[in-house]
Amino acid sequence: MSLPNDVELTRPQYVGATVTRREDPRLLSGEGNYVADIKRHGMLHIAFRRSDQAHALIHKIDIGEVLSLPGVIGVYTGKDIAEIAKPYKATSRMKNYQATYIPPLAIDKVRYVGEAVVAVVAESRYIAEDALGLIEVEYRPLPVLVDPEKALEPEAPKLHEQLGSNVLAEREFARGEVAEVFVNAPVTVGGRFHFTRTTPVTLETRAAVAEYDKGAKSLTLHSTTQIPGIVRDKLSEIFDLPGPRVRVIAPDVGGGFGGKTSLYSEEIVASAISRALGKPIKWVSDRMEDLMTTGHAFDEVVYADIAVTKDGEIVGLKADVIGDVGAYSIYPWTATIEPVQVVSFMPGPYRIENYAARVRAVATNKTLTGAYRGVGRPISVFVMDRLLDMAARKIGMDPAEIRRRNLVNDDEFPYKAASGLVWDKSAFQSCLREARDKIGYEELRREQNLARAEGRWVGVGIASYAELTGVGSRIAVAPGMPINTGTETCNVAIDSTGAVTASFGIASQGQGMETTLAQVVAQELGVKLEDVEIILGDTAAVSHSTGTYASRGAVFGGGAGTLAAQAVREKIIRVAGHLLEAAEEDIEVGDGNVWVKGTDSKMTIRDLARALYSNMGSVPKEMRDEIDNLEATKVYDPFFGTTTAATHMCLVEVDPETYNAKIKKYIVVEDCGKVINPMIANGQAHGGVAQGIGVALMEEVIHDDTGQVLTASLVDYVVPSAVEVPSMDVMHVEAELPGTIGGFRGLGEGGTIGAPACIANAISDALSPLGVEIMELPATPERLFRLIEAAKSL
């Protein structure tokens, strides 16, 4: 009996297949394990008294009779915590950057509403909250800064007295002859764009359970974090504990979207108190805390202009970005993470030789901003693609056509963008082309004209963008930060029972990485999908990892997983060569078996593992000394990273009386390289677009003049429901695979990057007869009402 010649046939192609998710059964049946589900013997709960002042000196904290309330165990202020946890800050080598210390609990001064001031430890969350009400905090108010453009002014009061100004970071650069092209350009358009502040709203609020083991002098923190490795490294420093004695675990996590990519005060306070009391400490954020304290998103004003020729060719771009970064520079990403990306990505996928930009990150009395799905790019695409539409309108060109003329062509890659980023070859033009074809662009325009004739306000929107994903060690995710975001580690091990485990430092917050990484490892190793255990989000699993953010999971995890699996496979082949008495070139591995090509000489990998580990004598000592084990740890560094490109198109109708914008059609065409699991990739696009719709139409964190957060519940911070999100079409073009291992490009953020611009363009198109341009999001009915009323009264 002989095996088929085409051995590939016997090796299932897991990569590229729609495989149902292995995490689903537990999540569908309530058997998942989220941080809030954790219970420990003797566990205590903490709740925080948070500042109701945006900017004030803490004059006095009076805890009154709190400690006599039954069930209350302790009360901690900023000074108490400072004695047991070192302060920390987000440093960076970037020029013109000023770091700020972040006290886990405010000391002497509060800088935003929601900042934690006092922590109460009690036997239950109910009692802890009872206690909070009994504490009196006396403040001496200071002038409040809510407007970043005012906070910029030299005479503005300072949030951090030791710093020279409220400008935490500043960068300026120019390429080409910007001033000159603007003087000579036949057509220029521009204006002031405003992308308001939003917040991630993961369905699971942030939570932490800290357990300090006095005997072992070790700390275990279960956290809803996306970055267990970064949290571990910093906690080890803050508590002076060696790495092995700090373990950070992210179990099932209910969504991240970037909001859980920062180190949070509560993680430190819970750990500090657990260490002080020797008891497990649990903190689960309520929704109000979550809306007020989880890293906010965006919040930029951008003054931008482009110059184009009469043929629609972009000849110059100028941008001045003012980012409102809130009260502190967030750890680890720094205050640069969001605003600097705005200028870096502003030219987008377009050919722009002359570009000048300035960006300033300004501290205000608001919640810190951090990373949120898309980081910087949703606004850079909003500005750039709005400018393109405005230019197209001015020269009378179709918006799809102006994009076609300016998108980098296939033969121009690798293309160095004016901001210095390098795009590897990606399907810029074909995404646009496919999107046009798929949505039936010409037909849509005809429909639009008919609708207009009936007095309906219908508009077509387009947005094209490129994102750098899987960014390796060449470029830090945030400029100058002293953390390596350019590598990830995977350990693949076959143990003495023959079981396969692939361990990663990255964590999953719903992206299905237990499934997709198993697909990659199973395929590369040659075992059955169901036979690969995946361990994620545990700092004990690998020596170094930063986590899941910046659309890096597939590129880094897939890459490191491939390398480690291949290394183990090589070991398997060596051992099999000996056991099956064949040349290594003749050994094939697949489906959990090894065999000699063209023969029926075959054994299971399980038996092979037993032979190596347990049945002394079956593998000679020299070989065992050389091979050691069926295990390999590999680090992958994609160095430059790779480009993911997409075009979104949509059809929007604005009710000419209520001014409500309704999305009637939506299509995404993206090039994310080799798709590991199409079902999961589509889900990522759907979810990303849904969040982009929220950003475009309804989501906004609103502060009043005194810095109070007015959107402190999900009644007032409105995220879309199933009714406001349309059905959409998602298409993947796998044009030419990039040079990353496996040909993977990152995805996950994309939907949110393209949708705000696409929808803003569609609404502007719908309202073009009135001359209304959307320069600010979200385009709520209220905003449209004001814009339309103003336009009508002209």
Please name the residue that has the structure tokens 């139409």.
697
Measured CA to CA, the distance from residue 78 to residue 97 in angstroms comes to 26
Q: Which of 347, 720, 738, 756 binds other proteins (CB under 8 A)?
A: 720
Q: Dihedral of CA 380/383/389/394: which sign?
A: negative
Q: Which of residues 421-450 bind other proteins (CB under 8 A)?
A: none
Residue 727 in contact with other proteins, rule: CB under 8 A: yes
Q: Residue 250 CB, nearest distance to other proteins (Å)?
A: 12
Q: How far is CA 176 from CA 352, 356, 488, in A?
A: 9, 8, 37
Site for other proteins in 587-616 (CB under 8 A): none
3 state DSSP class of 165: coil
Q: How many residues does the chain have?
A: 794
Stretch that binds other proteins, among 364-372, 409-417, 470-478, 687-695 (CB under 8 A): 687-695
Residues 740-759 that bind other proteins (CB under 8 A): 751
Q: Of 240, 411, 657, 705, which lies in the binding site for other proteins, with binding defined by CB under 8 A? A: 657
Q: Which helix (H) or strand (E) holds 753?
A: helix 750-766
Size of the residue set binding other proteins (CB under 8 A): 80
Residues numbered 37 to 56 that lie near other proteins (CB under 8 A) are 37, 39
Diameter of the chain measured on Cα atoms: 93
- Which of the stretches 156-164, 411-419, 718-726, 764-772 binds other proteins when contact is defined by CB under 8 A? 718-726
Residue 628 sits in the site that holds other proteins (CB under 8 A): no
- Least distance CB 583 / other proteins (angstroms): 44
Nearer to other proteins, 286 or 437 (CB): 286
| 288-307 residues near other proteins, rule: CB under 8 A | 288
Considering only residues 510 to 539 of the shown chain, the ones binding other proteins according to CB under 8 A are 510-512
Contact predicate 334/380, CB 8 Å: no
Task: Answer whether 234's CB lies under 8 Å from 271's CB.
Answer: no
| Smallest distance from other proteins to CB 729, Å | 10
Among 133, 186, 414, 739, binds other proteins (CB under 8 A): 133
Q: Which of residues 165-194 bind other proteins (CB under 8 A)?
A: none
Of residues 89 through 128, those in contact with other proteins by CB under 8 A are 125-126
Dihedral sign, CA of 403, 408, 410, 411? positive
CA–chain centroid gap for 685, Å, is 14
Closest approach of other proteins to the CB of residue 175, in Å: 38
Task: Tell me the C-alpha distance between 182 and 178, whole Å.
Answer: 6
Residue from 9, 702, 769, 790 in contact with other proteins (CB under 8 A): 702
Q: In the set 686, 708, 737, 770, which binds other proteins (CB under 8 A)?
A: 686
> Please, which residues have CB within 8 angstroms of residue 10's CB and are 6 or more apart in sequence?
3, 4, 590, 591
Residues 221 to 280 in contact with other proteins, rule: CB under 8 A? 252-255, 257
Least distance in angstroms from the C-beta of 754 to other proteins = 13
Which parts of 763-792 interact with other proteins (CB under 8 A)? 780-782, 785-786, 789
Continuous H helices in 43-163: 78-84, 125-132, 148-151
Q: Among candidates 299, 305, 341, 345, which has minimal Cα distance to 322?
A: 299
Give 227 or 335: the residue with its C-beta nearer to other proteins: 227
Q: Would you count residue 463 as binding other proteins (CB under 8 A)?
A: no
* Among candidate residues 146, 194, 167, the one with its CA nearest the CA of residue 361: 167
What's the closest the beta carbon of residue 482 comes to other proteins, in angstroms? 31
What is the C-alpha to C-alpha distance for residues 520 and 636, in angstroms, rounded to an integer?
14
Residue 126 CB contacts under 8 Å (≥ 6 apart), including other chains: none
Question: Least CB distance from residue 236 to other proteins, whole Å?
Answer: 28
Distance CA 50, CA 119 (A): 9
Q: Which is nearer to other proteins, 523 or 677 (CB)?
A: 677
Tokens standing for 213?
Answer: 């083991």
